[in-house]
Structure formats: structure tokens, C-alpha cells
């Protein structure tokens, strides 16, 4: 305190007695811009329907595509801002947001603009799945690369693809990602969610920033990722929501892989906006230490977003993005399962959320 310049009247003091401070949480993988919801599908899954089979039958992602196309751009902006407010209340001060529910030119671009207007970092997920008006994935990619890529590259920071049976195979994913890289975008992949289909090899080969999901990754994939500088982004809320295996976080960390944690917030596979819940899952289900989990959702997530020099640490020269927790020991952020632990959220030095009562 003695080293601070004198207060000339402009300083706002925040009483932090009884609280602890962590860096603002960074959600580096979300799908926050969509129309409608999937609550009916949620009931069907509760009755035993499988996520992959619903998708294959034209539901799942494609039902959100129909609702997103029907919403206007203004509604998409309002919805994304609403979701941003939910995330903030859980301590998220930076979020990435993907397109991927338009799958036509206008709606994909509208989604990217909506994410940006809501304060997010846009990623172009044009290659999420093949929309019904195309009979095959290559014809759809022809369209994306000829008619959407140039404008998408002006709006997004990164490109992403769903490399999985029922969406795109490794050859198609490579084709899309190489074109996106040539247009100046950083690269991300949804990979190894249900099957190991070559996502890790492709990510390494193309110098992608991350490969995300990894629920199906076996020991060879763990070793391969650990020997690379590609970050594995783990999404345990999606495993929980779909009753699927957790990704091999402990094995990855022990092998020396770079890992980040994110919510994967979306209406189908993870309707979850809470990074504190993800940190709880990381510690209880994947056996990460609270310290490892916190770094994975702050500094490492900042690295995935190309911002490791600016956000994710409480350190001089970094943005004043700070979460005050209602506990003297910061580990309560993970320990208090779905608890109301976030007291105050400060973004760029300004209070943007304060818990009431």
C-alpha cells in the first residue's frame, strides 16, 4: 500500500475482508450463440435416447441450427449477452464463443458478430456438421471455403472443426483447417469425443492451438499430445451431461501435456455456464489438484486464446480481471460443489458482478 501513488479521489476501494482473490476465470471453449433450447432432447436422453443417435436422426445439433437460423441477428446478440451474464456470475471474465449453428453464410457471420458484440472472442466453427441442404461433407466444404471463409476470417480469431463420425473425417478436417490457416486464422479442433479419428495427429501436424474434448483418447494419444505443444482442452461438464467417460486429465498432466479446462457451454451436450463447477469436476472426477485446475482455467486458457501475456494472472502488467471468493481459502472455488462462492467479479478494474445478500 505504501508504494501506491496517492489517491487523488478517483480510487474506488473494495472491502475484501473475509474474501480471497483469484484471477478472473477464462472460458476458452463455449457455444453461447444459439436459438431455442434442447430441453425436449434432455427429456429424451433421460429416457435413454443417445446423443449420437439423436444427431444421426436429424435432431441434436441440427435442431439448434433450425432454431438459430430462425432467430434474427438482434435476438442472437441478446441471447449471447444473456449467456455472458450467466458466465460472469460464475466468475468468467473472458470467454471464447463459437459459431456453428448457422451453417449458412448469413447466420454463421451473424453468430460471429453476435459473439463479438457480447464481448466474446469469436471462433468460426463453420465445419460443425453438414447441414441438410448438402448431400455430402465435401460439397458443404466447397461452399464454406468459397463463400464464407473470407468474411469469417475477418470476424473470427480462430477456426474449429468437429472431427467425428457423423460430421467430418480427418481428410475433410485437414482441408478446412488448412484453408482457414492460410486465411490467417488460428486452429482448434473438436476431437476424440466419441472415437479416436486422428484429431491429435492432425492438430500437431497443423500447429493447432488446441484439441478439445479427448474423452475417447487412449494412452498413445496421451503420449503424442504430451510430446507436442498443442493444448488439450478438457470439458468435464460435457462428460457429466452426456454420462460419458471423463477425459484422461491425470494421465495427460503426468505425461507433461499442456491442459486447459472449459465449460463447452452449449444447448445439447453441456448446458453449463459455470467454470467453478468444471473445477470441482476436475478435482473430484479427474484427480487434478485445485492448483492444476485453477491454472488450467486461467493462464493455460489464456494461452489457448493467444492472450497469455495479458490475462489469466494476478500480476503487474496484466488486466485487472479479479474474482473475489466468499471464502478465505481460494480452493473453495472447486471445493464448494455448485456453491454460491463467487462474491464479486472485477473486469478491467471495474466491478461487473456483485452477489446480492
Binding site for ligand NIG (CB under 6 A): 31, 60-61, 64, 162, 190, 193, 238, 264, 266-269
CB contact at 8 A, 351 and 321: no
Instruction: Choose the one of Fe ion, ligand NIG, none that binds residue 268, judging by a C-beta under 5 to 8 angstroms depending on kind.
Output: ligand NIG
Nearest residue to Fe ion on Cβ basis: 264
Nearer to Fe ion, 192 or 264 (CB): 264
**Spatial separation of the C-alpha atoms in residues 27 and 8, rounded to whole Å:** 36
| Cell 449467456 -> residue | 83
Residue 264 sits in the site that holds Fe ion (CB under 5 A): yes
Choices 99-107, 214-222, 257-265, 326-334 (CB under 5 A): range interacting with Fe ion: 257-265
CA nearest to 53, candidates 263, 197, 194: 194
Q: Which residues contact 126 (CB under 8 A, 6 or more apart)?
A: 99, 100, 103, 108, 144, 148, 149, 152, 159, 176
Provide the minimum distance between the beta carbon of 60 and Fe ion in the complex, in angstroms, as a whole number.
Answer: 13
Nearer to ligand NIG, 125 or 322 (CB): 125
Instruction: Choose the one of ligand NIG, Fe ion, none that binds residue 290, judging by a C-beta under 5 to 8 angstroms depending on kind.
Output: none
Nearer to Fe ion, 104 or 215 (CB): 215
Choices 100-108, 256-264, 271-279, 337-345 (CB under 5 A): range interacting with Fe ion: 256-264
Provide the minimum distance between the beta carbon of 31 and Fe ion in the complex, in angstroms, as a whole number.
Answer: 6
**Spatial separation of the C-alpha atoms in residues 22 and 313, rounded to whole Å:** 8
Provide the minimum distance between the beta carbon of 233 and Fe ion in the complex, in angstroms, as a whole number.
Answer: 9
- Strand-strand pairing, 20-23 and 25-27: unpaired
Instruction: Choose the one of Fe ion, ligand NIG, none that binds residue 238, judging by a C-beta under 5 to 8 angstroms depending on kind.
Output: ligand NIG
Nearer to ligand NIG, 84 or 190 (CB): 190
Nearer to ligand NIG, 189 or 283 (CB): 189
Q: Sheet with 231-234: list strands edge to edge.
A: 25-27, 92-98, 121-127, 158-161, 186-191, 210-213, 231-234, 259-261
Provide the minimum distance between the beta carbon of 252 and ligand NIG in the complex, in angstroms, as a whole number.
Answer: 18
* Long-range CB pairs of 54-57, under 8 A, 24+ apart, other chains included: 55/129, 55/166, 56/166
Nearer to ligand NIG, 193 or 298 (CB): 193
Phi–psi pair at 151, nearest 5 degrees: -75, -35
Residue 104 sits in the site that holds Fe ion (CB under 5 A): no
Provide the minimum distance between the beta carbon of 38 and ligand NIG in the complex, in angstroms, as a whole number.
Answer: 7
What is the SS3 assignment for 249?
Answer: helix
Provide the minimum distance between the beta carbon of 260 and Fe ion in the complex, in angstroms, as a whole number.
Answer: 13
Take residue 338 and report the three cell numbers written for it: 455448485
Instruction: Choose the one of Fe ion, ligand NIG, none that binds residue 60, judging by a C-beta under 5 to 8 angstroms depending on kind.
Output: ligand NIG
CB contact at 8 A, 277 and 239: no
Choices 50-58, 221-229, 259-267, 342-350 (CB under 5 A): range interacting with Fe ion: 259-267
**Spatial separation of the C-alpha atoms in residues 209 and 166, rounded to whole Å:** 24
Provide the minimum distance between the beta carbon of 210 and ligand NIG in the complex, in angstroms, as a whole number.
Answer: 12
Positions touching Fe ion (CB under 5 A) are 264
Amino acid at each position: 500500500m505504501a508504494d501506491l501513488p496517492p489517491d487523488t479521489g478517483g480510487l474506488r476501494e473494495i472491502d475484501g475482508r473475509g474474501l480471497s482473490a483469484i484471477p478472473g476465470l477464462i472460458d476458452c471453449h463455449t457455444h453461447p450463440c444459439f436459438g431455442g433450447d434442447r430441453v425436449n432432447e434432455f427429456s429424451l436422453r433421460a429416457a435413454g435416447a443417445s446423443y449420437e443417435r439423436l444427431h444421426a436422426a436429424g435432431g441434436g445439433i441440427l435442431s439448434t441450427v433450425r432454431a438459430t437460423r430462425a432467430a434474427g441477428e438482434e435476438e442472437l446478440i441478446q441471447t449471447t449477452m444473456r449467456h455472458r451474464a450467466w458466465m460472469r456470475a460464475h466468475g468468467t471474465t473472458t470467454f471464447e464463443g463459437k459459431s456453428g449453428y448457422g451453417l449458412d453464410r448469413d447466420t454463421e457471420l451473424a453468430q460471429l458478430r453476435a459473439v463479438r458484440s457480447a464481448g466474446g472472442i469469436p471462433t468460426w466453427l463453420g465445419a460443425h456438421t453438414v447441414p441438410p441442404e448438402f448431400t455430402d461433407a465435401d460439397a458443404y466444404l466447397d461452399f464454406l471455403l468459397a463463400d464464407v471463409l473470407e468474411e469469417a476470417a475477418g470476424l473470427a480469431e480462430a477456426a474449429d472443426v468437429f472431427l467425428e463420425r457423423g460430421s467430418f473425417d480427418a481428410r475433410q478436417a485437414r482441408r478446412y483447417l488448412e484453408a482457414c490457416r492460410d486465411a490467417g486464422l488460428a486452429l482448434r479442433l473438436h476431437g476424440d469425443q466419441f472415437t479416436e479419428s486422428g484429431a491429435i495427429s492432425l492438430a500437431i501436424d497443423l500447429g493447432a492451438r488446441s484439441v478439445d474434448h479427448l474423452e475417447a483418447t487412449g494412452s498413445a494419444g496421451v503420449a503424442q499430445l504430451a510430446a507436442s505443444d498443442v493444448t488439450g482442452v478438457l470439458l468435464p461438464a460435457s462428460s457429466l451431461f452426456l454420462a460419458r467417460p471423463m477425459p484422461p486429465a491425470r494421465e495427460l498432466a503426468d505425461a507433461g501435456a499442456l491442459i486447459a479446462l472449459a465449460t463447452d457451454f452449449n444447448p445439447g451436450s453441456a448446458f453449463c455456464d459455470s467454470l467453478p463447477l468444471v473445477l470441482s469436476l476436475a478435482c473430484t472426477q479427474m484427480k487434478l489438484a485445485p492448483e492444476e485446475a485453477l491454472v488450467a482455467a486461467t493462464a493455460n486458457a489464456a494461452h489457448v486464446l493467444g492472450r497469455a501475456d495479458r490475462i489469466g494472472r494476478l500480476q503487474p502488467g496484466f488486466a485487472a480481471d479479479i474474482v473475489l471468493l466468499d471464502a478465505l481459502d481460494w480452493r473453495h472455488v472447486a471445493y464448494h460443489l455448485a456453491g454460491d462462492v463467487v462474491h464479486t467479479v472485477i473486469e478491467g478494474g471495474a466491478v461487473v458482478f456483485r452477489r446480492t445478500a
